[in-house]
A and B are shown apart, each in its own frame.
Chain A
Amino acid sequence: QVQLVQSGAEVKKPGASVKVSCKASGYTFTSHYIHWVRQAPGQGLEWMGIINPITGSTDYAQKFQGRVTVTRDTSTNTVYMELSSLRSDDTAVYYCARDVGQDEYFDYWGQGTLVTVSS
């Protein structure tokens, strides 16, 4: 069955970086784009970016341009999201989500990774 398993919770200081992983299984990794979405405590969902697992090409929300980097490792079927220059308002649960194909809706989600930014 399709699974997206994310890395565990992180606590970071302001100004630091965090790298969250999302390991895919149960399907052909290169057949589905992967998105990253975050959710601040008690807030709604916010799309961050997308990666094409075949080419590694990415697209990011303007809000995160210059601070976010999404990469993939096709040998381990894992996607990574790195967010730098962390601020307290980056405290959120970060989700990876599988695109049903290419540039469509999300049919499977990871369990989420809580990133807490605190001094």
Chain B
Amino acid sequence: DIQMTQSPSTLSASIGDRVTISCRASLSIRDWLAWYQQKPGKAPQLLIYRASNLQGGVPSRFSGSGSETEFTLTISSLQPDDFVTYYCQQYQSYPYTFGQGTKLEIK
């Protein structure tokens, strides 16, 4: 199985900050990576697909980059609604696997 490792697990930041979340794959997944945002008690929502493509309707302050084994999700200017949990996911091969999640907290 491909292991996905996210860092950090928790990130404290302030409104307006620029933050970056990292995701590392245990072997190359080319750019078969998605990022999801999950609000408490809700299903995850797609933010980014193919590592760097913004899903329709997602604010442009979200961006993704990377390839092979190293990926990042960047939020350019944090808004109050962004302080939730984020997951990366590889869809290169079964079983699809997720990172353990990064919880964004208000500093």
Interface residues of A (CB under 8 A from B): 35, 44-47, 50, 59, 61-63, 95, 97, 100, 103-107, 109-112
Least Cβ–Cβ distance between B30 and chain A, in angstroms = 13
Given A44-B101, A45-B98, A46-B98, do A104 and B43 touch, yes or no (CB 8 Å)? no
A44 near B87 with CB under 8 A, answer yes
Q: How many chain B residues touch A (Cβ–Cβ < 8 Å)? A: 21
B99 near A44 with CB under 8 A, answer yes
For B50, the chain A residues whose CB sits under 8 A away are 105
Main secondary structure of the interface of B (DSSP, over half): loop
Main secondary structure of the interface of A (DSSP, over half): mixed
B94 near A59 with CB under 8 A, answer yes
B44 near A45 with CB under 8 A, answer yes
For A44, the chain B residues whose CB sits under 8 A away are 87, 98-101
Question: What are 30 A-B pairs with beta-carbon distances under 8 A?
Answer: A44-B87, A44-B98, A45-B36, A45-B44, A45-B87, A45-B89, A45-B98, A45-B101, A46-B98, A47-B96, A47-B97, A47-B98, A50-B94, A59-B94, A61-B94, A63-B95, A95-B44, A97-B43, A104-B49, A105-B34, A105-B50, A105-B89, A105-B91, A106-B36, A107-B55, A109-B43, A109-B44, A109-B45, A110-B43, A112-B43
